[in-house]
Amino acid sequence: MLESITAFDAIAVAVIVISAIMAFARGFLREVATLGSFIAALAAAYYARRFFAEPVRTLVPEGADPVLGDLALVVFAFIIVYVLVAWFGQRLSKNIQGAEGIGMFDHVAGLFFGIARGAIALVFFAVLLNLALDESRIPDFILNSLTYPPLAEMADYVNDNASKVGKDVQAALPSAGKTGQ
């Protein structure tokens, strides 16, 4: 069994261990606050572009690429919301972590969160690898590893279901006609 361990296995274990240690050190609440900040900032950037793109495009100098206005709007909205929500989330998590009896539970929950995050990052890597390369072009040290076959199986599951999930999300979102855009 040890002879079938490759460098990719070591990298995969390192990704999970580093993610777990970082999340253990920060605690579950801080990790969730950071994730929530990122999601809120993505939503703010999306809706800022959706509702304010036209007014911002009028501010772009004549002859400049109109994408510059969209880019500035999205980046500005993302950064402002990320900083505000992250600040609020960090304050909240510090107050909760300071409460008696929650500290160790928060760190242990963070450890499990970190393990899950590391595993998801590896699945995401496998998805990108499968999209970018044919199986015949994937290096042997990855193909012959112990960790890649289950990652590839999960990546196939994600690829098979991503379009269905995307269609379901699009169907649930209000159409442009309903929002006045």
Higher-pLDDT residue of 115 and 134 is 115
pLDDT of residue 178: 55
What radius of gyration, in Å, describes the C-alpha atoms of the chain?
Answer: 21
pLDDT of residue 111: 97
Please calculate the CA angle 7-13-16 and round it to the nearest 5 degrees. Answer: 145
| Furthest C-alpha separation in the chain | 66
| Segments making up each domain of the chain, as ranges | 7-170
Confidence of residue 94 (pLDDT cuts 50, 70, 90): confident
Q: Which residues in 30-40 are b (16+ Cβ under 10 Å) and which e? A: bbbbbeebeeb
Q: What is the mean pLDDT of the chain?
A: 88
pLDDT tens for each residue of 125-146: 999 999 898 889 999 999 999 9
pLDDT of residue 128: 94
pLDDT tens for each residue of 38-91: 999 999 999 999 999 888 888 888 888 878 888 999 999 999 999 999 898 888
Confidence of residue 8 (pLDDT cuts 50, 70, 90): very high
Asked if 115 and 16 count as a contact pair (C-beta separation under 8 A), the reply is yes
For residues 32 and 131, what is the distance between their CA atoms, to the nearest angstrom? 29
pLDDT of residue 177: 52
User: Is pLDDT at 168 greater than 60 in this prediction?
Assistant: yes
Q: Could you tell me the two tokens for 45?
A: 């950037």
DSSP state of 4: G
Interacting residues of 34 by C-beta distance below 8 A, sequence separation 6+: 86, 89
